[in-house]
Structure 1
């Protein structure tokens, strides 16, 4: 581990900052002549090289080639992010774009997908959203006939969300059976999750307490089952903008990009990583090999939890990109998106 920020001299801090910020902008190592032109320190290239050598020996900088300039190590990036970075808050246009995209009416999954897409577009990274792992809690239920063969099952959740699914009807279903089934779900199963409602229904039928005829009983089961089947197919992790990871600057780093894209295919492992961000109250940054999942591709994740009512964390939103991403700009952007989703779900 390298030295703490206060242990660096003012000269070393200034040179280190210029190296990191220049590298994050360009993605290329930074030489002493470039630093002498950018830093305003009035130091000769030879003096700057001496300080850079000291920073390299401290494990904060590295030289990819003997004659090349320096670039920050993962340890150096961590030091910069935790102790030296000056965050740039999203501007008015960026804030408006985020709120506009996630504020559109529709299912909450659409808002979450929009959040990952807009973050991807604004950050030039891949956007990630970990979807809440929760079942809706029943408050009210209704069947709306569509035809002789189909009805629309409408579920109102305890949090006020409304979802609907098309249900196939048994041949010869009477409209009164639709009403009876919906009334039974609303009156007897309100306050239950879908799995709890199915378990209670099975128990009530087994004990002979479910006052339903065969047709209504079948409709209740169909109405509950369509959500449980659908829920099993919902993605836990939404990823948008993988193409942003393959840009002109990545031309010399295609193997790293290939590894990263392979890692993005393993959604389960990334989901477990993001689950770690659920426990915190602030935005988390995972840099490169700090997490074994990205030890080979040298990638970073910036992730922030978002909340529902009563401040309960329900998911995580973030971005993934190369370790040289613009942390000062992207960290506040992810944080703002998490707060916008929290307001939407409150």
Structure 2
């Protein structure tokens, strides 16, 4: 059978495609390339250029391929942008997830893995680890758009032969240890990527938003999970659904948090270079600390993380930034040669 990966040209999606191919799966990718890259999709995967909300395109994809599962990564993810443009986030993350789920049900596809977020919990996280049973009070439209999608999947599963696993991501970071893909989007807001760019001299300074949170050093605390461990959780979720497992929600994090300043110190330590840090006011929509209780993923899905070390996460991110820089320089060289040849 075949797996459809939406957003498979993006950061997490491209890692997922490689992991599926490594596992011997047949893979189809759907991506509109708004933030993803065609080169990030391996040649072994069949690629469709288009929007996940295009119902006719989805029908064609399902008709042309023997798909038995959907892994849904496509969506918008920048919290401050969601505050400024909430309707775009509800359209792209919520409405289009409904279109995709409807098309999958129409095609008789029962297995669906959904990319959700710890942002669904909002500030209601207390002082301990965040559990899936904790109340959900999203603080921003991004988190709300994902929670609404979770609700739609729950109701769809109650009404149709359709089962899902919702994986609530904490802070995803790092890159493929084999150097095949990584976070490549220009203008990305992920802390570790920005810190790596600052360490490599590609930005003047790293901005730290908020120094007055009730945390160990006043900066925000997050649970950083290596992208390879995250996609491993998806592989486990896929196997679970194919065995007939029931619909469920699971956190994906390590259960240990690091502050922004602790991440900064790790980047400096791993790279061996200092860089400038600027302290700025809090951003709207951010929370003080969010750390996962991932025992459900471990116990039910059999998830066993292999990359739970902050320095290792940062080392793979730094390696990818250097690979990406070399790639971009190579692309510019090719363009210059083509321009020279045209004269």
- Tell me the TM-score normalized by structure 1: 0.25
The structure with more helix, counted as a fraction of residues: 1
- Tell me the TM-score normalized by structure 2: 0.26
Higher radius of gyration, 1 or 2: 1
